[in-house]
Amino acid sequence: MALRLLTKVPRQSSPRTMVRLMALKQPQSLTVQRLGAAAFVRSYTTEPATTTATEVAENVTTTANDSIQALVNTSEVAAQIGDFKALGLCNFTPVGGLEAMLEAIHVYSGLPWWGSIAAATVVVRLALLPLMIKIQRNNAKMMNLNPEVSRLMENLKTAQQQGDSVAVGKYSNEMQSLFKKHGCHPMKSLGLPIIQMPVMISFFMALRAMADLPVPGLQTGGLGWFTDLTAQDPYYVLPVASAAGVMAILEAGSEVGAANPQSKTMKNFFRGMAVVMIPFTAWMPSGVFVYWITSNAVSITQILALKNPAIRKAFDIPKLVKPASELQKNTKGFMENFREQTIHHEKLEKDRALRERQRAAAAARRAAKRRF
């Protein structure tokens, strides 16, 4: 009987491959049977002849299940390229591209998942560094031109209030010529936020999808008190740290290291948003906060580095002719401009209504004269 069981043992292609498949998916009955048969072969030479087949089968099954569970729990099954594809990730979208990059960094570097997420964040931010430097160069030029631009804007506003279309065209052309001469434009400053927003959303969606499965190893790939990157931080430390990073960026300067004429109003707005968003983001997986905190740290490093004169010179970023606060001395903020535009619009409406009443009164007088 033992000889017949021995001759029925199937050939196994690779024990490592079989254990990997059982770790990524739920163990299949056929795989467990093969492991049991293999273990039975190993135990055949050591079991006493008096041991019954039932006892041997029970021992083999228990040993195989314990071994598989130990391998899964201790993450001894090494990750390989293609695991994400087998789990339904890595499609042909920006989110799928980030998932593929995260998998590659985790497999080839051997870093734990929290380190892989942080490394991927640094790689993406470094890839955006040339664009950030270009926008910083544009902002520095705009800052040096701010007094002249403010003068032209005041003249343009006065011409619009007076209804002088010739003067409006003149000052508009002068402003465009000034931007063209110095190779800068206000719209160029919007390039970095436009690029960073899709990147941030893609990172969030990728990490959320990985946490929902979850990806093997992600539940034990954290650090310190947040070992499970698929769960929220039970102590709310990560949400608070993320909000504190946003506040630090606002205090250190804008993302590209240049001041903004509306910086005071925008800073107050984002300060409030950073605090308000803490309870609304606390439910997110810890892996998302690993990305946000790392991204905030990179932003603060870039801001401080670009304030160094030697680094600014190396990247051909113009030096500010005066301190930013002095260059913005006569620059009106967003709310002040909004109030002035509202007052101007109300004045135009009153003048229009007055002219209509005057024309109606004049028409009535002419009609009365014709009757007499």
Q: How far apart are CA 146 and CA 329, in angstroms?
A: 10
- Measured between its terminal Cα atoms, the distance across the chain in Å is 135
pLDDT digit string, tens, across residues 90-122:
888 999 999 999 999 999 999 999 999 999 999
> Quick one: 323 and 369 in the same domain?
no
Q: What is the pLDDT of residue 219?
A: 92
pLDDT digit string, tens, across residues 338-356:
676 777 677 778 888 888 8
Distance between alpha carbon 107 and the CA centroid of its chain, in Å? 22
Range of the domain at 356: 332-372
| Average pLDDT of the segment spanning 148-177 | 85
Residue 144 lies in a domain: no
> Quick one: 319 and 351 in the same domain?
no
- pLDDT-based confidence at residue 336 (cuts at 50, 70, 90): low
pTM of the model as a whole: 0.69
Residues of the chain above pLDDT 70, percent:
70
Residue 138 lies in a domain: no
DSSP 106-174: HHHH---HHHHHHHHHHHHHHHTHHHHHHHHHHHHHHHHTHHHHHHHHHHHHHHHHHT-HHHHHHHHHH
Number of structural domains, the chain? 3
Q: Which residues, 6+ apart, have CB-to-CB distance to 122 below 8 Å?
A: 294, 298
Contact at 8 Å (CB) between 110 and 79? no
Q: Is the pLDDT of residue 47 over 80?
A: no
The conformation of residue 11, written as its DSSP 8-state character, comes to P
Contact at 8 Å (CB) between 178 and 151? no
> Quick one: 236 and 249 in the same domain?
yes
> Quick one: 253 and 369 in the same domain?
no
Query: Can you name the residues that pair with 217 across neighbouring β-strands?
Result: none
> Quick one: 240 and 269 in the same domain?
yes
Sign of CA dihedral 143, 145, 148, 152: negative
Last residue of a domain, one of 26, 41, 73: 73
> Quick one: 244 and 272 in the same domain?
yes
